[in-house]
Amino acid sequence: MKPLYDLGVLPVRYRTGKGFKPHISLTFKTEKNRTFAVDTTNLRNSTDAYLITHAHSDHHGKSAMLCENSVCSEETARALEILYGKKFAGSTFRIGDAIDISGVHVKTYPTHHTIGSTAFFWENEVGTRILVTGDVKDAKDLPKCDLLVTEANYGDYDDPACHFQDDIGAFREAVKEHDDIALGAYSFGKAQRAVHLLRESGYSGKIGMDPTSLSLTEGLMENAGQLCGLDDDCGIRIAALAKLSGIKATKKYLLTCRRDHKVPTISISDHMDVNGLIGMVEQCAPQAVIVYHPSGHRPVKLAAYINKMGVYARALEQINNCIEM
C-alpha cells in the first residue's frame, strides 16, 4: 500500500456481519480530512459524499440516491428516479461541470457507458490527481491522473471473451429490412444505445419497447423519435432479455458481446474490452490503479496485468483496510 500512502489516499472497505459493503471509500486530505464513498449503499456514518457514477443496479444508486450527500449527473438522477420511483435526495450536475463536493473542487467527465455515466476527478493536498471512472465505454475524454480507480468488467487478457469490438456493420445489416425484428437489450444503457444506432442507421419508423425501457428512453433521450409499447404496430421492438422469448418476431437478435446465449447475437457492448481498459491506463498514465468493480476474478486479473506494465495496481479484494460496522 506504500504507493497509495505516498499519494495521500487511504482506500477503505466497510464490513458488516453480512460481508463487505460495496464498493470502496477513499479518505484523503484537502483542507480537512474527507471521505468520498464510490458506488456504495448508505453507510450511515460520517461519509462526506456518495459518488454515484451511473444508474446500473450493481453501482447501488437505489440506496445512495436517498442520502442527502449523494452526487450524480442530472441524467443519472433522472434514471434512478424512473427505475426506483423515489425522489433523488442529493445534488446533481451537468456532465463536464466542475462542482464543489464537501469543499473539494471536483471535475466531471463523460464515460459514454450509459446516458449520464460520469467520472469524478479531484486533487488532494499533496497534489495527487484522483480519477474515479465507474464503468467506461470510451475513455477518450478522461484526463491524466495519479490514482486511477476503475473497472474491469472485461479485464482478463487471457480470456477470449474479453476481446471484442462493436459490430456496427452487423447491426445495420440485421435491421436493414426493419419489418418484424426484435432486439434483446438491457433496459438501461443497451436499449438507448440500440435506439441511437437505429436512428443513426436511418430507421425513422416506430420502435416498440417494454415499459421500463420505454420510460427510461422517453425520460432520458432527446432524439429518440417515435416510440411505442411492445404491443403496438411497429417494425422493430427492443425488449429486456427476459421478455424477448415472449415476443413474436421473424428475426430476433441479442445485443451483447457475451457468447453464452442461444439467441443469435450482435456484438454491441456498453463496455470497452480488455485492450480498451489497458489503453485507458496508458492514456491516463497513473502512478497507481485500484480496480474496484465488478465482483469475480477479473479485477485481480487486470490488476496483475497492470502491475506487469510497471504500474502499481490492486483489485478491491486485495485491499485490506477494513472498518467493521
Nearest-angstrom CA–CA distance, 203 and 195: 9
Quick one: 279 or 294, whose CB is closer to Zn ion?
Answer: 294
Residue 314 is inside which H or E element, if any?
strand 312-315
Nearest-angstrom CA–CA distance, 138 and 116: 13
Quick one: 219 or 294, whose CB is closer to Zn ion?
Answer: 294
Q: Which amino acid is at 20?
A: F
Quick one: 123 or 135, whose CB is closer to Zn ion?
Answer: 135
Is 84 buried (19+), middle (13-18) or exposed (0-12) by CB count in 10 A?
Answer: middle
What minimum distance in Å lies between the beta carbon of 270 and Zn ion?
A: 6
What minimum distance in Å lies between the beta carbon of 47 and Zn ion?
A: 22
Q: What is the CA radius of gyration of the chain?
A: 20
**Cβ neighbours of residue 259 under 8 Å, at least 6 residues apart?**
161, 265
Quick one: 135 or 166, whose CB is closer to Zn ion?
Answer: 135
Quick one: 75 or 135, whose CB is closer to Zn ion?
Answer: 135
What minimum distance in Å lies between the beta carbon of 205 and Zn ion?
A: 29
What minimum distance in Å lies between the beta carbon of 38 and Zn ion?
A: 13
Site residues for Zn ion per CB under 5 A: 56, 135
Quick one: 56 or 78, whose CB is closer to Zn ion?
Answer: 56
Measured CA angle at 78 (ends 75, 80), to 5 deg: 110
Quick one: 135 or 273, whose CB is closer to Zn ion?
Answer: 135
Written as nine digits, the cell of 255 is 445485443
What minimum distance in Å lies between the beta carbon of 59 and Zn ion?
A: 6
Quick one: 109 or 312, whose CB is closer to Zn ion?
Answer: 109
What minimum distance in Å lies between the beta carbon of 312 and Zn ion?
A: 25
**Residue corresponding to grid cell 506504500:** 2
Nearest-angstrom CA–CA distance, 57 and 59: 5
9 and 130 Cβ atoms separated by less than 8 Å: yes
3-state secondary structure of 81: helix
154 and 277 Cβ atoms separated by less than 8 Å: yes
What minimum distance in Å lies between the beta carbon of 236 and Zn ion?
A: 24
Written as nine digits, the cell of 303 is 490488476
Which residue number is nearest to Zn ion in terms of Cβ?
56
What minimum distance in Å lies between the beta carbon of 255 and Zn ion?
A: 15
267 and 167 Cβ atoms separated by less than 8 Å: yes
115 and 93 Cβ atoms separated by less than 8 Å: no
